[in-house]
Amino acid sequence: MVSRNILIVEDDPAVNASYQHILKRSLEYNYKIRSVTSAEDALESVKKAGTFDVILLDFYLPGITGGEFLRALRTRDQDTVVIVISSSQDYKIVHDVFKLGADDYLTKEELANAYVLEKAILAGLEKKEYQRAMARNEVVRQRMDAITTIIRTVHHELNNPMAIIDLTLSKLTSSPELTDPLVKVQIKEIQDNVDRMSDILRKLLNLRDEMYNEGLRGLKLFAVPDKASSGKNQE
């Protein structure tokens, strides 16, 4: 069973005990529970522990309020799932805590159903994992855009010289003055390599599509066989 670190911030001992009772019966996670009775102690716990997977936060606390704690937490931690819990159903409070970065808001009345709390925790953890996956995908997309820009630049810089070389070789091979067999062989080797390079340059433009195509993953893009070996395979 997967372990999750959870911090309960609740000044009512009976309510705190009820949360722990619900969490200890979980079939999804093995919760490692720490509980404190004030936002000040919660901030100190976060400072010492580094981070928690989930924080159950009472909105009305002595001293620093749950809202003030949440504002302070989100300046340093966007990953922890924070579920604000209160006896109030005031729309303004709900609006404010979500604006401050809460992942969910539950009333203590709702928690009469034990399933509600665990459902909120599971939903919050799934949302955070989705957000992390989206962030990773965005990094990959930015890197691919950078690679694509480099590839297009390389293609542009090499394509014109390769075309000039190809045209020059074509003129040489069609010249009636070219009679030396050794020179003809050497020109043929150059032409083969120019053709191979041109083929690679053409495929470079499709690199982005090939990187995202499951059937073309790996170094297949650069495995361009020369004509001689290709002809032997066909035989």
Q: Are 91 and 107 in contact (CB under 8 A)?
A: no
Rounded to two decimals, the pTM is 0.62
Phi–psi pair at 46, nearest 5 degrees = -65, -40
pLDDT in tens, 132-183: 888 888 888 888 788 778 878 887 888 888 888 888 888 888 888 888 888 8
pLDDT in tens, 45-98: 998 887 899 999 999 998 999 999 999 999 988 899 999 999 888 888 899 999
Pairing of strands 29-36, 54-58: unpaired
Identity of the residue numbered 81: V
